[in-house]
Amino acid sequence: MAKKKDDKKSTQKSENNVKQHKASFSPFFLFASIAVVIFSVSALQFYITLTSVPDLPQLDLDKCWGVNCSVDESIRKFRIVFSDAMLENIRRKFETYRRATRMKSLEESASYGINSDALGQVFAHWQFKYKYPARQRYFNHYEHFKTKIQGLDVHFMHVKPQSKTVKVVPVLLLHGFPSSIKEFYEAIPLLTEPRPGYDFVFEIIVPSLPGFGFSQGPVRQGLSAYQIAIMMRNLMQRLGHKQYYVHGGNIGHNIGTHMATLFPREVLGYHTTFPINFSRVADLMWLVGSVFPKWVGNEFADRMYPLSEKMAYYLEEFGSLHLQSTKPDTIGIALQDTPLGLGAYIIDRILAFTDPTHKLKEDGGLSSYNTTDLIDNVMVYWSSGSITTAMRLYKELVKNRDIEEVLAQIPTPVPTWALRPKHELYHSPDFILRWKYPNLVGVTNFDEGGHYFALEKPTVFADDLFKAVNSFLKLKK
Ligand SMILES: *[C@@H]1O[C@H](CO)[C@@H](O)[C@H](O)[C@H]1NC(C)=O
Ligand SMILES: *[C@@H]1O[C@H](CO)[C@@H](O)[C@H](O)[C@H]1NC(C)=O
Ligand SMILES: *[C@@H]1O[C@H](CO)[C@@H](O)[C@H](O)[C@H]1NC(C)=O
């Protein structure tokens, strides 16, 4: 009996053992299953947030950005004037600079900021070779106008073709920072002249973005790229263009892409020299590409990788963007006080963003530019005193990131053509571009040029715009 009891005990014991065993295993399985469920749900959630397309936000198309919000649809003629008082002021500032002790750059350096030899060349050119009356005539060689849009005076150039024999199509050309209307001066005559093989020419509208050059800046916060897109659309409507083509480069791309997204029935075709569409998936793809560059970066993997080099480049060159998007008014005071300082800041950005190897050259790459052209561009900012209001756009882009990103996630049906310059700051491969632009009609991969493409390569730019719009027109037939 006792033995039996013992047996029972031992079976009970072993049962207990099994139970205990079970008990010590089940939390593990429980945790594992919970973990799997949590992981799957969050992966699904992640996938959904990555890929879902948000609704188009409701936006006020008449929001007023000025002091005087009364409606005025008149279109007034405008002339760019380099006033005697302004020129006298420049001369005085130059004289002070000439007498001051000059700071010399370190030997063989352009990566510490603008190289002093390069700046010396700009200074000499500006003092002795830059002829203000001739440059003023040059600027006014196209017709200029101003009109009030949403409470702000918007300046624009309007160039109509001479030829009456071929079809005329309107195109809006959007500049960026720190470029200006000057970016398109050389390209305009190439676009308004009929050319063999094409049965159309362009009617050109080149605005100064609000706050840039001769367009008024807003008096209140919030005029971000998508709000400028609305203003630019209203400008085209004011000029009687219900439908039109749009081109954008650098920040002009941020605006142009929003126009194509917000007004797909008005924008007949979109041409960009900064073909990017930032998003979380794109960033993820860029990281994936560091392991499989050929797969994600396709034919221009060498332009985006090695990742570490590209990141280092951004860290080194994007300090200005950080400053502009945090304290534009502070740096603005320094830049608005000195024409040469303003010139140094603007020219340094243009040299750095058009070719990263410029900083390895003794003159910072200045010799690859026409100095008069560079000073013209600086004069747009100086004569209008607009550098601060222009830089504020960066702050608005960051502050209004939410809506900017929502709009970037909404695909546009507008036919799109992308020109990818070799030294552009960032490259999205074609398949990523198609997420945003499912109707990507053509892509030109160009082996030169950078962020200010129309300024650098006006002929290539004009050729490409003709090619693009020709394809857009063929789609309609
Ligand atoms: C506001 O603008 C309108 C139209 O441009 C003009 O007639 C009016 O005089 C302006 N008012 C003020 C206070 O400037
Ligand atoms: C530079 O540009 C100016 C004005 O656009 C032009 O008159 C001049 O001939 C150009 N200089 C050179 C060396 O190309
Ligand atoms: C581009 O657009 C697509 C579709 O609207 C969107 O899902 C994506 O987030 C955007 N950005 C990039 C870089 O693809």
Domain presence at residue 116: no
pLDDT value for 425: 81
Q: How far apart are CA 171 and CA 213, in angstroms?
A: 20
Domain co-membership, 173 together with 28: no
Q: How far is the CA of 430 from the centre of ligand 2 (A)?
A: 37
Strands 200-207 and 167-174, bridge-based pairing = parallel
Q: Which of 407, 435, 437, 439 to mutate to test the pocket of ligand 3 (most atoms within 8 A of CB)?
A: 435
Return the CATH number at 284: 3.40.50.1820
Domain co-membership, 159 together with 23: no
pLDDT digits 0-9 by tens, 404-446: 989 998 999 999 999 999 888 888 888 889 989 999 999 999 9
Q: Which of 64, 70, 75, 146 to mutate to test the pocket of ligand 1 (most atoms within 8 A of CB)?
A: 70
pLDDT value for 38: 82
User: On the CB side of 135, how many CA atoms lie within 13 Å of its CA?
Assistant: 21
- Cα distances (Å, whole numbers) of residue 438 to 229, 414, 432: 21, 8, 10
Task: With H, G, I as helix, E, B as strand and everything else as coil, classify residue 229.
Answer: helix
- Cα distances (Å, whole numbers) of residue 18 to 3, 7, 23, 204, 428: 22, 16, 8, 85, 59
Q: Which ligand is nearest to the CA of 64?
A: 1
Helix axes 251-262, 225-238, angle to 10 degrees: 70
Domain co-membership, 147 together with 34: no
Q: How far is the CA of 71 from the centre of ligand 1 (A)?
A: 9
pLDDT value for 11: 46
Q: How far is the CA of 69 from the centre of ligand 1 (A)?
A: 8
Q: How far is the CA of 373 from the centre of ligand 2 (A)?
A: 7
Domain presence at residue 226: yes
Q: Is the pLDDT of residue 14 over 50?
A: no
Q: How far apart are CA 152 and CA 386, in angstroms?
A: 14
Cβ-contact 267, 236 below 8 angstroms: no
Cβ-contact 391, 331 below 8 angstroms: yes
Q: Is the pLDDT of residue 460 over 80?
A: yes
Q: Is the CB of 24 under 6 A from ligand 1?
A: no
pLDDT digits 0-9 by tens, 404-415: 989 998 999 999
Domain co-membership, 255 together with 154: yes
Q: Cα–chain-centroid distance for residue 63?
A: 23
Question: Going along 60-139, which residue ranges are E strands?
Answer: 75-78
Domain co-membership, 222 together with 327: yes
Cβ-contact 395, 265 below 8 angstroms: no
Residue of the nearest CA to atom 12 in ligand 1? 68
Q: How far is the CA of 192 from the centre of ligand 2 (A)?
A: 21
Domain presence at residue 359: no
Domain co-membership, 215 together with 313: yes
Q: Is the CB of 463 under 6 A from ligand 2?
A: no
Q: Report, as an integer, the average pLDDT of 323-349.
A: 96
Q: Is the pLDDT of residue 326 over 60?
A: yes
Domain presence at residue 1: yes
Average pLDDT, the chain: 89
pLDDT value for 50: 66
Q: How far is the CA of 230 from the centre of ligand 1 (A)?
A: 23
Q: Which of 136, 366, 372 to mutate to test the pocket of ligand 2 (most atoms within 8 A of CB)?
A: 372
pLDDT value for 304: 76
Domain presence at residue 371: no
Helix axes 371-384, 84-99, angle to 10 degrees: 110
Q: Work out how many domains the chain is built from and give that number.
A: 2
Domain presence at residue 111: no
- Cα distances (Å, whole numbers) of residue 255 to 225, 231, 262, 263, 346: 5, 10, 10, 12, 21
For residue 436, which atom of ligand 3 is closest to its CA? 2
Q: Report, as an integer, the average pLDDT of 375-393.
A: 98
Q: Cα–chain-centroid distance for residue 366?
A: 23
Q: Which residues pair with 440 in a beta bridge?
A: 416
Q: How far apart are CA 406 and CA 53, in angstroms?
A: 8
What residue numbers bound the domain in which 37 lies? Answer: 1-52
Q: Is the CB of 373 under 6 A from ligand 2?
A: yes
Q: Which ligand is nearest to the CA of 427?
A: 3
Q: Is the CB of 45 under 6 A from ligand 1?
A: no
pLDDT digits 0-9 by tens, 33-63: 888 888 888 877 777 766 678 888 899 999 9
Domain presence at residue 104: no
Domain co-membership, 40 together with 148: no
Q: Report, as an integer, the average pLDDT of 156-179.
A: 95
- Tokens read off for 315: 């860290």
Q: What's the farthest any 2 CA atoms get from each other in the chain?
A: 124
Confidence band, pLDDT 50/70/90 cuts, at residue 364: confident
pLDDT digits 0-9 by tens, 199-214: 999 999 999 999 999 9
For residue 410, which atom of ligand 3 is closest to its CA? 5
What's the CA angle centered on 173, arms 170 and 175, to 5 degrees? 170
Domain presence at residue 456: yes
Q: Which ligand is nearest to the CA of 47?
A: 3
Domain co-membership, 322 together with 465: yes
Q: How far is the CA of 458 from the centre of ligand 3 (A)?
A: 30
Between these two residues, 254 and 14, which has the higher pLDDT value?
254
Q: Cα–chain-centroid distance for residue 444?
A: 18
Cβ-contact 353, 450 below 8 angstroms: yes
